[in-house]
């Protein structure tokens, strides 16, 4: 069974720092990997989607990479801002259109 | 393009009462999911629909939870009777299965059971 892990569970950085969030999965048979942002009490907002054949995707200050063979993905956030404070979750899509989620990394950016 | 719509956003009920949540997915998305998210955890799948058929409801507590998607568009999730441990955010998502494979979520319905 697929298991998705996110480390660290929480991260606190000063404004302006670049940071990396990690996501690992146990089974490399995935169709894609998606990174989400979740603000307290709200739904998940899609940030980036990486297909299994891709190595990375970029959107603004965000860059996500995927190494399917090693079961790892990273989300790089450049020049962090207080508005980036949220929980970031990753999810993998597998056969049967099933999704497996990590438990998230709670990010706090200190002004 | 309109996103996934959910209502109500918040609901507070006493234990043993009933509650219903509604979801309207993105137009054209045949695959719809209901997830339960407890604070500090990742979403847990309750049920997956493909059009109006159930694909996976293995983790749905069927003695108290029910869900339907009668016309293959909007969906309703019901809890009856509610327990204290049902306090959570109920998330609806729809899948762009024929496009990018991207999963889209609604704003969620936060349930508090007292």
Residue B7 to residues A106, B15, B90, Cα–Cα distance (Å): 26, 20, 10
Q: What is the pLDDT of residue A1?
A: 86
Question: Taking residues B13-30, what's their average pLDDT?
Answer: 96
Q: Which of residues 72-91 of A touch B (CB under 8 A)?
A: 89, 91
- pLDDT tens for chain A, 111 residues: list them: 899 999 999 999 999 999 999 999 999 999 999 999 999 888 999 999 999 999 999 999 999 999 999 999 999 999 999 999 999 999 999 998 999 999 999 999 999
Q: Which one, of B2, B15, B10, B24, lies nearest residue B85 by Cα? A: B15
Q: What is the pLDDT of residue B72?
A: 84
| Residue A25, helix vs strand vs coil | strand
Beta strand B10-13 pairing with B109-113: parallel
Which chain A residues touch B56 with a CB distance below 8 Å? Answer: 96, 98
Nearest residue of chain B to residue A42 (CA atoms) = B107
Question: Taking residues B39-51, what's their average pLDDT?
Answer: 94
Interchain contact, B43 vs A51, CB within 8 Å: no
Beta carbons within 8 Å of B45's beta carbon, 6+ residues apart: A98, A99, B33, B34, B35, B56, B59
Interchain contact, A49 vs B101, CB within 8 Å: yes
Question: Taking residues B5-21, what's their average pLDDT?
Answer: 97
In angstroms, the separation between the Cα of residue A12 and the nearest Cα of chain B is 17
Report residue A75 as tokens.
């989300």
In the DSSP assignment, the letter for residue B34 is E
Which among B4, B41, B103 has CB closest to A99?
A: B103
Question: Taking residues B84-97, what's their average pLDDT?
Answer: 94
| Residue B9, helix vs strand vs coil | coil
In angstroms, the separation between the Cα of residue B26 and the nearest Cα of chain A is 14
pLDDT at B97 over 80: no
pLDDT range class, residue B70, cuts 50, 70, 90: confident
Q: What is the pLDDT of residue B98?
A: 81
């Amino acid at each position: 069974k697929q298991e998705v892990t996110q480390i660290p569970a929480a991260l606190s950085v000063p404004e302006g720092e670049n940071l990396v969030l990690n996501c690992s999965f146990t089974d490399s048979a995935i169709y894609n990997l998606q990174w989400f942002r979740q603000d307290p009490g709200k739904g998940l907002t899609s940030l980036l989607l990486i297909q299994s054949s891709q190595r990375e995707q970029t959107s603004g200050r965000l860059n996500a990479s995927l190494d399917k063979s090693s079961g790892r993905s990273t989300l790089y956030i450049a020049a962090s801002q207080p508005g980036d404070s949220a929980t970031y979750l990753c999810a993998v899509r597998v056969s049967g259109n099933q999704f497996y989620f990590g438990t998230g990394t709670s990010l706090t950016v200190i002004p | 393009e309109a996103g996934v719509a959910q209502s109500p956003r918040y609901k507070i009920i006493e234990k043993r009462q009933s509650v219903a949540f509604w979801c309207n997915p993105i137009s054209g998305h045949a695959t719809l999911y209901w997830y339960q998210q407890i604070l500090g955890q990742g979403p847990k799948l309750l049920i997956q629909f493909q059009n109006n058929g159930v694909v996976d409801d293995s983790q749905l507590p069927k003695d108290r939870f029910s869900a339907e998607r009668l016309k293959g568009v909007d969906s309703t999730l019901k809890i009856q009777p509610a327990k204290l441990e049902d306090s959570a955010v109920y998330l609806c998502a729809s899948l762009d299965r024929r496009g990018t494979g991207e999963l889209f979520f609604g704003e969620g319905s936060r349930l508090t059971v007292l």
